[in-house]
Chains A and B, each alone.
Chain A
Amino acid sequence: MNIYVLVKQTFDTEEKIVLRDGLIDDQGVKYVINPYDEYAVEEALLQRDQHGGQVFVIAVGPSRMQDALRTALAMGADEAILIHDEQIPQDEYSIAKVLASYLSKQSVDLLLGGNFSVDSGGGQVAIRTAQLLGIAHASSITSLAISGSQATVVRDAEGDSETLDVSLPALFTAQQGLNEPRYPSLPGIMKAKKKPFTELSLADLGLSVADISPKTKQISLHLPPKRQAGQILSGDTREQSLKLASIIANVRGN
């Protein structure tokens, strides 16, 4: 089974966001694999170990994304592909088209990705890619069982659980609870250095800038207004609680 995993590198979720000259400052920021993509990588490894095959991790973005792919290799993925070209715009339409252009030439049995990325959070690229490839999908899954060319997944839909049967090839996007991602082991990190790592440009994919011109653009960025610390209620527990109850009733309009 050929398993492809879409990976993005994001800021660690404990990072604060700082603007410098109107742009997001990444100086000194710790980068990680997008947490949802980490579940996808782990699931790919579990499925490969159960059914056999190869796990390919693929990213589109700047060369620093190598680190995220290396981490996935160290976790146990077999091969990495990084498509990096300064001419690729930061637009979901464009990125999905780049991914689909590469993947349409591969034999893909299973495609995995994260539910969304914790930075831009559009939640578009994986599903767009599946649509462009003409394969089925189910988003936000918490369980995956494969038998032959059929998969049974459980999808989290705002707290409800839907069990779906899906014909492969298909894309699934990972929700929390799908698995517990492993940490790369030291031997894993050593082995990762020798694993195949392919870097491709737009030209390598036979794409021109015009083919992927963006459909959306960012106009500006701003930070949320800072919240001020409020009032700590005084009195004994009962007095504090009664004050708070009256505040809550007020906010609710009772």
Chain B
Amino acid sequence: MLGGTKMSKICYVIAEVREQKLRQVTFEAIQAARLLNNVEQIHTILLGHQLTELAAELSHYTPDTLYVIDDASLTHYSADLYREAILSIIDQANATIIVGHTAIGRDLAPVLSAALHAGQISDVIAIEGDTFTRPIYAGKAFEQKQFTADETAIISIRPNNIPPASALPSQGNIEARTLTQSAALRVMVKDIVRKASGKVDLAEAKVVVSGGRGVKSADGFKILEELAEVLGGAVGASRGACDAGYCDYALQIGQTGKVVTPMLYIACGISGAIQHLAGMSQSKVIIAINKDPDAPIFKLADYGIVGDLFDVVPILTEELKATIQN
């Protein structure tokens, strides 16, 4: 075994399901487990309801055991139920737990960390042995972190940064478990409005079409949505556009808001305030469309058009629709 006297790790990847599909970040988390030093076993944990097909799929990516708890009370995420379920499965003395840094993972990871009195490194974008790289100041700088001891630890990984694991030649072993918790729930889900249903999630999108004050109205965002749809991408916005009420704060990209790292970022009518640039400057290719030739966004864009987005975007949509269909 490599690593001398260091204790070997047992990794548990918490799978995440969205709209009856395994999220991409789950496969990235399995790959993250492989990048760690001294890993002896990699297990996955799948919680939810009506999971038979998803479990079959996930088992092909699980090197060791896939633990499944299929229970109607797990239909929606619950911090209390997830905590009890996960604690009942893992080896608490020597677990490295990996989750996606998603709406669920961001909530769950510190719950588990506190319950296990463990360290947590959040929002990891790269792993090299025992060293984790993560953005600070929303990506204006990066830090490398390590755990201070070889003990139970939690890591949340940012979607879209670690390559996903590929399927294994043979299927892992599936072990069904049951939910033991019966205590009254302190948090009850009353209603869920799926505003984001059927849409590509902003954090996981390969293409982001983003609008700023230059989009001028909520109505103006429609042409951006059309372009995003053609490209299979998601729509984002600057703080200016959100503050002006053109779109929901859930779409905001920046140091307040979300940080995105897509393959392609198309900034429309965004001047490029420092706080916005922090949220998108790690995108692979950046395109800017802005009327103002002095807009700071052009200083980091790979390609730019000085022009009116209301002229340019419809042409892009029309052209790309034709290209992609062929």
Contacts and interface: CB of A to CB of B under 8 A. Distances in A.
B285 A241 contact: no
B145 to A, nearest CB: 5
Given A35-B256, A163-B189, 16 more contacts: A121-B138, A123-B110, A136-B186, A158-B196, A159-B199, A166-B186, A175-B249, A176-B256, A214-B119, A215-B147, A223-B141, A224-B282, A232-B305, A244-B289, A248-B320, A251-B264
A245 B266 CA distance: 11
Interface stretch (B27-35, B62-70, B172-180, B293-301): B293-301
Given A36-B256, A159-B196, A248 B316 contact: yes
A24 interface: yes
A223 B119 CA distance: 25
A234 to B, nearest CB: 10
B224 to A, nearest CB: 14
15 contacts: A13-B278, A17-B137, A118-B255, A119-B137, A139-B107, A157-B104, A158-B203, A158-B250, A162-B76, A176-B256, A216-B148, A218-B143, A220-B143, A228-B300, A254-B324
B123 A230 contact: no
Contacts, number: 275
Nearest to A219: B144
Contacts of B42: none
Given A219-B146, A227-B286, A251 B263 contact: yes
Interface residues of B, number: 102
What interface size band does chain A fall in? 35 or more
Interface of B: 76-77, 79-80, 102-104, 106-107, 109-111, 113-115, 117-123, 131, 135-149, 153, 186-197, 199, 201-203, 206-207, 231, 242, 248-252, 254-257, 263-264, 266, 273-275, 278, 281-282, 284-287, 289, 293, 298-308, 311-312, 315-316, 319-320, 323-324
A195 interface: no
Interface of A: 11, 13-17, 19, 24, 35-36, 91-93, 96, 116, 118-129, 131-132, 136-140, 142, 152, 156-167, 170, 175-177, 213-224, 227-233, 237-238, 240-242, 244-249, 251-252, 254
Contacts of B189: 162-164
A249 B147 contact: no
A15 to B, nearest CB: 7
Contacts of B144: 218-222
A157 B103 contact: yes
Contacts of A244: 287, 289, 303, 305, 312, 316
Contacts of B257: 176
Contacts of A242: 315, 319
A224 B284 CA distance: 13
